[in-house]
Structure 1
Amino acid sequence: MHFVIMGAGRVGSSLASQLDQMGHSVAVIDRDSDAFRRLPANFNGRRVTGLGFDRDSLRQAGIEEAYAFAAVSNGDNSNIIAARVVRETFGVERVVARIYDPQRAVLYQRLGIPTVGTVKYTTSEMLQRMIPSESDVIFNDAPSDMQIVHEEVNEEWTGIRITEFEREFGTKVAFLRRLSEGVIPDELTVFQEGDEVFFAVHESARVAAVRGLQRTPQKED
């Protein structure tokens, strides 16, 4: 997966380094090219000199392919502007911003942008917010490499047949939770707003399937 980080300070460089060591693709944006010296010598990711809310800089960093974005510069305004640009312009669902002012943090949480305050801030907490966790895996059959996953469905999937999701991501939907009731789908069943889906998938394909449900689906011509 690809991750973009704004800010190459102590936390940003630590976050980038850990993601890189985990085998992910990483790009770091900072307005000061000297800040990249904080990255380890064996860092494999991209270094983009520019502003984290500048669209050209974000594109150079690969934001259009990004799974998640973290704004961890030392400026609240810059972090929030960048987070909103990434969320609203590029459609990245997993966005988290570092905020020093707790009153601002409450406001931006209401806007749907997760924030981490300086008091409780840790690199590990940012990682938990950026990387898809195993917490929604409700059954794991190790011998067969199969999992059953519970995930909420992006409203953009509303009206699209469940069979399209199954075909695109190699899954099999067992049932939906719709308005607190269970629905067993057939070949004509379509997603509705607010649906929660329980599906079977190979472990190796889980992240792609979860990511697919969180993003706007590919419409067939």
Structure 2
Amino acid sequence: MYVVVMGCGRVGSALSASLERLGHEVAVIDKDAQAFRRLGPDFRGRQVVGQGFHREVLIEAGAEKADAFAAVSSGDNSNIISARVARETFGIDRVVARIYDAKRAAVYERLGIPTVATVPWSTDRLMRMLLPDGVASAWREPNGTVAILPLPLHEDWVGHPVRALEQTAGCRVAFIVRFGTGVLPHADTIVQHEDTIYVAAVSGTVSEVTAAASAPPQEG
């Protein structure tokens, strides 16, 4: 693949080097020529000085033949403008933008531009390392409304259908990992030993969902 990376900070330089190690052709854009020193002496890709949302800069970086574009500079506005130009002007299908403001990320997702909301993503990663299993989400919608979380179940849930869990916990079972294989459940799918249950829940109810699942099911 030919990949254009806009931004040569710590993330951009690491991403570019990783892509090149995997055999991809990479062009890096940054407004500061000194930033390219982060790439190291062995980097063979193209280095372009300029603003990543300027058409002539993107042309110099080879955007017209690019298969993918990543906007990972330190500015939300620059990232989203660059991503939109890459998608709408140059027709690049694989486009992603790093965004610090999670509220903005939700808007851009609705515009069809995938984003990585840095602060919520990092927060969830840290929570998964610090807190008990199931408390932190495995994935969160950019605007924070819905979360997917792995749910540790009380052992008495084994043998009960997914329907009962959803009704009790007030969630939706999104998928189940069973013996290393993903399973898309239906209402009558029976919970088995060793299942890892992933549920979709409104973020504000995550604690209630976790509490309901960690208690034995109510009979009747």
- Structure 2 length-normalised TM: 0.54
Highest Rg: 1 or 2? 2
SS in 2 for 1:37: helix
- 1:53 paired residue number: 53
Distance in 2 separating the partners of 1:72 and 1:43: 18
Q: How does 1:165-180 map to 2 (within 5 A)?
A: none
Structure 2: runs of 5 or more not aligned: 123-220
SS in 2 for 1:51: coil
What is the CA distance between 1:40 and its match in structure 2? 1.9
Distance in 2 separating the partners of 1:120 and 1:9: 20
Distance in 1 separating the partners of 2:6 and 2:104: 19
Matched to 1:24, the amino acid is H
- 2:92 paired residue number: 92
Summarize deviations over 1:128-164 as a string: whole Å, max 9, x none.
xxxxxxxxxxxxxxxxxxxxxxxxxxxxxxxxxxxxx
How many pairs were matched up? 122
What is the CA distance between 1:121 and its match in structure 2? 5.2
Question: Structure 1 segments of 4 or more deviating over 2 A?
Answer: 119-122
**How large is the RMSD of aligned CA atoms in angstroms?**
1.1
Distance in 1 separating the partners of 2:117 and 2:30: 20
- 1:16 paired residue number: 16
Percent identical among aligned pairs is: 64
- 1:25 paired residue number: 25
Summarize deviations over 1:5-61 as a string: whole Å, max 9, x none.
000000000000001111111000000000001002101100000010011110111
Matched to 1:14, the amino acid is A
What is the CA distance between 1:120 and its match in structure 2? 5.3
Q: Does residue 103 of structure 1 match 2:103?
A: yes
Distance in 2 separating the partners of 1:79 and 1:105: 11
Structure 1: runs of 5 or more not aligned: 123-221
Distance in 2 separating the partners of 1:16 and 1:91: 21
Matched to 1:86, the amino acid is A
- 2:169 paired residue number: none
